[in-house]
Every structure is written in structure tokens, then in C-alpha cells.
Amino acid sequence: DQQVKQNSPSLSVQEGRISILNCDYTNSMFDYFLWYKKYPAEGPTFLISISSIKDKNEDGRFTVFLNKSAKHLSLHIVPSQPGDSAVYFCAASEYGTASKLTFGTGTRLQVTL
Amino acid sequence: DTGVSQDPRHKITKRGQNVTFRCDPISEHNRLYWYRQTLGQGPEFLTYFQNEAQLEKSRLLSDRFSAERPKGSFSTLEIQRTEQGDSAMYLCASSFGSSGGLSTDTQYFGPGTRLTVL
């Protein structure tokens, strides 16, 4: 049972434009959400997180939006840069589980010149 | 570099052999996690330590797998009698978490150990 879903396996965006990566979850007990970026042959790198008490969190070019009623979150990258090309994973943790993360299957972002 | 480190980065072994991986977390982090990632999938939780205590194990962690964190610092993950299905990237992560199970600490990952079982 895939509790965290990233339905778009890949996304291509032009440099300077906005990248929007989406994530849906099914477990209503999830209360903390994170986005990680992963380059080949490296471990995931933390990007940004959001608690369920918020609906938006911003850090530089990265903004995460959370819609609890729809069980949906999205990551916006503005402006997109070629160095953003990587696989992006959405992850979630459930209250009381000491941050055991459940990951989606990832979205490969390619930022073209 | 004070990030999470893992050793070795790559391991090729024959089916039936035992392998051991090491993870050194960020020094002030009290929590340490092991995940496994296969091609096309996100990382899957295997086990978690708070200090030296192993507090949770996934059902993915068969009895051929054992993990330790003897002094609450580095951790080892051993796989006995490896099978081809064990081929994966094994990721370690660490975080600083307070007691009480609140799920708001951020995990920082190491580069992973890629295991290939022939």
C-alpha cells in the first residue's frame, strides 16, 4: 500500500520557469512532510519541510504548500536552475513514530536551458 | 566534513556471503535510521535507534538482517547469507530528536552503500 504517491515520474522545465512537483498521501496520521533532492550515487539531501499546522513554508527559491483536506502537497521551485535537475522525493512522518519516514517513488526533474 | 558517512560506498558479494556496513552519524545526533532503496523506488524504512537502543524494526528486516549501535555513536548493519534480492542501496540517516516521539526532527542522509549480490 503506497501511502505517499508521486504520480509524475518525470518533469521537464525550462530554466527560469517555475517547477511544480506534486505529492499525495493517504495516511491521515501523517503530520510532518519533507522534500528531499537526490543526485545519482548520492544520498537524499534535505530541502524543505512543513508541519501539518501550516499550509505554506518558504525557503529561498523553494516553497512547499500543504492542503490537508486534499491530502496533497506540492513543491514550487522558482526560478528553476539547471543545477536543480535531480530526483525529488516527498516524505512524510506520523505523529508518535519518531520521524520514521515514508517516501514517495520520486519525480525526476530536468531543467533545460 | 561533519555529515553522515557510510562505509563502504560499494560492495559486491556472492550469494550466501555475509556483509557488514558501517554508518557514522552527525556527532550530536541521537537518532539513527537505516533505509533501503531499490531502483525506481523511494527509500524504505528498515530500523531506528535512539542512542544505543533499537526502538523499531520494519517487517522488511528479516532475521538475516541485524543492526547495532553499541555506544550510541556509529552503527553497523549486517546481512547474513545474502540473496540476490538484497541488492539495493542501503542508506543511513541521523537526526536530533527529543524524547516523546514527536515527529518534527529532520533526517540527514549519508551517501549510501550500494550492495550488489551476484
Please write the tens of the pLDDT for every residue from B8-17. Answer: 999 999 999 9
Which residues fall within 8 angstroms of residue A26, CB to CB, at 6 or more apart?
A1, A2, A3, A4, A5, A71
| Mean pLDDT computed over B81-90 | 96
- Report pLDDT for B59: 87
Strand B108-109, strand B88-95: pairing: antiparallel
Q: How far apart are CA B19 and CA A88, in angstroms?
A: 30
* Cα–Cα separations (whole angstroms), residue B113 to B2, B60, B77: 18, 18, 11
| CB contact (8 A) between residue A98 and residue B110 | no
- Report pLDDT for A37: 97
- Report pLDDT for A16: 97
Q: Which residue carries 496533497 as its cell?
A: A72
**Percent of chain B at pLDDT above 90?**
74
pLDDT tens by residue, chain A, 113 residues? 789 999 999 999 999 999 999 999 999 999 899 999 999 888 999 999 998 999 999 999 999 999 999 999 999 999 999 999 999 999 999 865 556 899 999 999 999 99
Instruction: Please answer whether residues A108 and A8 qualify as being in contact, where contact means their C-beta atoms are separated by less than 8 angstroms.
Output: no
Residue of A nearest to B4 (CA): A43
Local structure of residue A95 (DSSP, 8 states): T
- Give the residue from B46, B103, B104, B105 with the most A CB atoms within 10 Å of its CB, the best one to mutate: B103
For chain B positions 69-108, those within 8 Å of chain A (CB to CB) are 91, 93, 95, 97, 101-108
Instruction: Please answer whether residues B107 and B3 qualify as being in contact, where contact means their C-beta atoms are separated by less than 8 angstroms.
Output: no
Residue of B nearest to A48 (CA): B106
Q: Which residue carries 545526533 as its cell?
A: B29
- Report pLDDT for B100: 54
pLDDT surpasses 80 at B1: no
Nearest chain A CA: its distance from B17 CA (Å) = 24
Widest CA span in chain B: 43
pLDDT surpasses 80 at B97: no
Of B48, B104, B111, the CB nearest to A100: B48
B99 pLDDT band (50/70/90 cuts)?
low
| CB contact (8 A) between residue B97 and residue A42 | no
Give yes or no for B112 touching A (CB within 8 A).
yes
- Report pLDDT for A99: 67
Residue of B nearest to A99 (CA): B103
| CB contact (8 A) between residue A96 and residue B112 | no
Strand B75-79, strand B88-95: pairing: unpaired
